[in-house]
Amino acid sequence: MQAQREVILTVQDLKKIEEELDELRKVGRKRVAERIRDSKQFGELTENSEFEDAKNEQAQVEGRIDELRQILAAAQVVELEDISTDEVGVGSIVGIRDVNSRNQWEWTIVGTFEADPAQDRISNESPVGEALIGKKIGDIVSIDIPAGKVKYEIVSIRAT
């Protein structure tokens, strides 16, 4: 059996996971059970596409419930008061400046489960996240990305 990997979550994302799990248990399961019951009226179960779709949805709901339970069992929650503003860590909002272009923006460093690059939420295990972890304001980091090597200066660190 494989050892369970620790999942780092902020308090906000722990709450989101707990809410999704509660919703799936209370609403999702009931909705699927009703679909299965209702689909039985469409004829022989072996040739009933409605029944098959409902059973597939049931498998997806149960799979997601299991996944969320595993995440919660492995969760290490980063409390707001534990987020340092002296150095970059999970939960930090990091202001960076591209050394060459001088463009600036912010990234929030999160655990892998919470990562969403489109929302500027960067995983602590991504190349960028790993390079930033432990750095301080004024530090310059050099990161290999698919487009080549980039250099960023850390201009601010604050808690989420």
- Asked, for residue 73, whether it belongs to a domain, the answer is yes
- Whether residue 52 is contained in a domain is answered as yes
Question: pLDDT-derived band of residue 46, with 50, 70 and 90 as boundaries?
Answer: low
Give mean pLDDT, residues 51-76. 93
Let me know whether 95 and 73 are in one domain: no
- Average the pLDDT over each of 40-44, 89-93, 94-98, 107-111 and give the range with the smallest value: 40-44
List the single range of 18-22, 45-49, 88-92 with lowest mean pLDDT. Answer: 45-49
Domain boundary among 33, 56, 78: 78
pTM for the model: 0.70
30 and 63 in one domain?
A: yes
30 and 52 assigned to the same domain: yes
Same domain, 90 and 50: no
pLDDT band at 146 (very low <50, low <70, confident <90, very high): confident
Q: What is the mean pLDDT of residues 118-143?
A: 93
Q: Does position 125 have pLDDT exceeding 80, yes or no?
A: yes
Average pLDDT over residues 124-150: 91
For residue 2, being part of any structural domain is answered with no
Angle 128-129-135 from CA coordinates, rounded to 5° = 100
Is 65 exposed, middle or buried (CB count within 10 Å of its CB: 0-12, 13-18, 19+)?
middle
Last residue of a domain, one of 28, 55, 78: 78
Distance CA 60, CA 66 (A): 10
Residues 36 and 58 in one domain: yes
Q: State yes or no: pLDDT of 114 exceeds 90.
A: no
Is the Cα dihedral 10, 16, 22, 24 positive or negative? negative
- Domain range for 127 is 83-159
- pLDDT of the residue at 1: 40
- Give me the number of domains the chain comprises: 2
Residues 67 and 11 in one domain: yes
Same domain, 73 and 88: no
Final residue before a domain boundary, out of 30, 46, 78:
78
Residue 95 has pLDDT above 90, yes or no: yes
pLDDT higher than threshold 50 for residue 49: yes
Helices 11-23 & 49-74 angle (0-180, nearest 10): 150
Question: Could you tell me the CATH number of the domain that includes residue 40?
Answer: 1.10.287.180
pLDDT at 82: 73
Q: Which of 58-62, 109-113, 143-147 has the highest mean pLDDT?
A: 58-62
70 and 87 share a domain?
no
Q: Is residue 64 part of a domain?
A: yes
Residue 34 — pLDDT band, cuts 50, 70, 90?
very high
